[in-house]
Amino acid sequence: DAGVIQSPRHEVTEMGQEVTLRCKPISGHNSLFWYRQTMMRGLELLIYFNNNVPIDDSGMPEDRFSAKMPNASFSTLKIQPSEPRDSAVYFCASSLGDGETQYFGPGTRLLVL
């Protein structure tokens, strides 16, 4: 079975540009999580969805960040406008159910110049 799929794997953009990260969870999983990882702050949860509904977005840094899950097989994380401090690795993870094992995608390495 395919694992969690993320695209793009790498993104380099200039400050002020819009960035959209994409995630396809494992088929049948009903929870989806977006994380950001940096050396300084470690692995931080940004938002998570259950059955396509956002449950907790308290980790979203500011209004520049938004996330959607229009259906069970697709989610996006958008940053508009992007800033250099947004540079990080963004992971998407999915799980079969509440509190179950989370399976991480390969991540998107974002560099904002």
Partner 1 sequence: QQPVQSPQAVILREGEDAVINCSSSKALYSVHWYRQKHGEAPVFLMILLKGGEQKGHEKISASFNEKKQQSSLYLTASQLSYSGTYFCGTLGGGSNYKLTFGKGTLLTVNP
Contact residues: partner 1, CB under 8 A: 31, 33, 42-45, 48, 50, 55-56, 59, 91, 98-107
Residue 89 structure tokens: 């690795």
Using left for φ > 0, alpha for ψ between -120 and 50, and beta otherwise, residue 28 falls in left
Residue 72 or 89: the one with the smaller Cβ distance to partner 1 is 89
Closest to partner 1 by CB, 9 vs 80, is 9
**Nearest distance from residue 38's CB to partner 1, in Å?**
11
Q: Which residues pair with 89 in a beta bridge?
A: 37, 109
Query: Between residues 74 and 104, which has the closer beta carbon with respect to partner 1?
Result: 104
* Residue 7 C-beta: closest distance to partner 1, Å: 14
- Shortest CB 16 distance to partner 1, Å: 28
Strands in 65-71's sheet, in edge-to-edge order, are 5-7, 19-24, 74-79, 65-71
Instruction: Please give the Cα distance from 7 to 85 (Å, whole number).
Output: 20
